[in-house]
Structure 1
Amino acid sequence: MQDKLELFSQKLLEWNAIHNLTGAKTPQEVQNNINDSLYPLQFLDSTPQKALDIGTGAGFPGLVLAIAMPQTHWILVEPRKKRASFLHYIKTALKLDNVTVIPSRIEEIAPTKVDLITSRAVMPTKDLLQLAKDFIDKETTILLYKGEEVTRELDDITNYQIKQNGKRRYLFLKGKDVI
């Protein structure tokens, strides 16, 4: 896993210098994003068979999680063409057979039930849950990477847990009762 993460980091920095894929411009900033992506894995109850990352961007958290969880099939949804191209390139370069990249918006793809949904800094929680509702069943875990103000987005939601690491809040929701 470490070799793949190092190659991902190297290629991301190369592509980022030309295509501006992410705000992470140094090896340390990329490593911080990798650590942020991996941190909440310790709180998952089980290994999902099928996972969906909404708005994968340059690979955080979805591509990093796909590297760390090779037994899980990951669907990475990214509408921006240059970022989706980078994800396709990395998928091929790292031989990530467990990854499908979809260069579209989440509302434009055919829904399929998944065990885990992840997303980082895409949109407010309720809006994201609404867009993802057709991918969620009663057993789906939803893991959202949020900031310090996450509780302001949870007015009518009661079934959740928040884990904290520095300024990051990892919001865990479970199943259909969240929408």
Structure 2
Amino acid sequence: MINTEEEARAFTARHCDVLAMERLALLAEELEKEAPLQNLVAKNSLPQKWVRHIADSVQLAGFAEVGASPWIDLGSGAGFPGLVIAAIRPQQSVILVESRAKRIEWLERMADKMGLSNCKVEGRRLELVETFEAGVISARAFAPLDKLLRLSARFSTSDTRWVLPKGRSASQEVEALPQSQRGMFHVEQSLTDPLAGIIVGQGKWSAAR
């Protein structure tokens, strides 16, 4: 389990190169500066931003192959996990979907400052994003699982990997799906919270299943 900022930095460093670490350090620095201007993340999480936001995002890469592009991050907000994935996987196309104006501006500014040429911000509601085939779909605090699946189903294929950090509600949200639909997903233990889980799955989701 990752408990301290030092452990979180060490974990992150094992999963990326020096340039990516510099980019993530810049993200952490800018997050602190932006905090008084808009509520990007919970204020009480800032002292542990490497644990709660950066390492928490880095761990998600372990559930999806590098070649699975594009990676679409729904409701990307402050850029977790989207900006982090784009930083540690520069060879992977990452699309950040966000509809709130201030968050869109933040994501675009940080993608530019971090030099993330592989990162694109879709500044609109998910319903208005043109359909494409996603290699990976992630979402952090975007919507309850059943709604998330309905909204993003059209982006999925038989090869799509779902990586959905759901905190302490992960198992309950999978159990709440109809029994015939649960088998597509399982829950992995989060490395940054002993009580949190990550919903992982693969395949095409059909709202009519």
**TM-score normalized with structure 2 length:** 0.80
**Do the aligned partners of residues 171 and 26 (structure 1) sit closer, same or farther apart at CA in structure 2, a change above 3 Å counting?**
closer
Deviations 1:138-179 (A, max 9, x none): 100011010222222222221212111222211111111565
Secondary structure (helix, strand or coil) at the match of 2:168 reads: coil
Q: Could you tell me which residue of structure 1 aligns to residue 141 of structure 2?
A: 121
1:67-103 superposed Cα distances (whole Å, 9 cap, x missing partner): 1111111110011111110000011111110011011
DSSP 3-state at the match of 2:76? coil
Quote the RMSD (CA, aligned, Å).
1.6
Instruction: Quote the Cα distance in structure 2 between the aligned partners of 1:97 and 1:47.
Output: 17
* 1:173 partner amino acid: G
Q: Which residue matches 1:175?
A: 203
| Residue aligned with 1:10, SS | helix
Moved over 4 A (4+): 24-27
**Alignment check: 8 A CA contact 1:159 1:178 kept:** no
Contact 2:63 2:163 in 1 (8 A): no
In 2, Cα distance between the equivalents of 1:27 and 1:174?
Answer: 33
The aligned length equals 179
Deviation, structure 1 residue 104: 1.1
Q: 2:99 aligns with which of 79, 96, 99?
A: 79
Indicate the structure (1 or 2) with the bigger Cα radius of gyration: 2
State TM-score, norm by structure 1. 0.93
1:44 aligns with 2:72: no
Do residues 158 (structure 1) and 186 (structure 2) align? no
Q: Which amino acid aligns with 1:56?
A: S
Gaps of 5+ in 2: 1-19
Confirm whether residue 3 of structure 1 aligns to residue 3 of structure 2. no
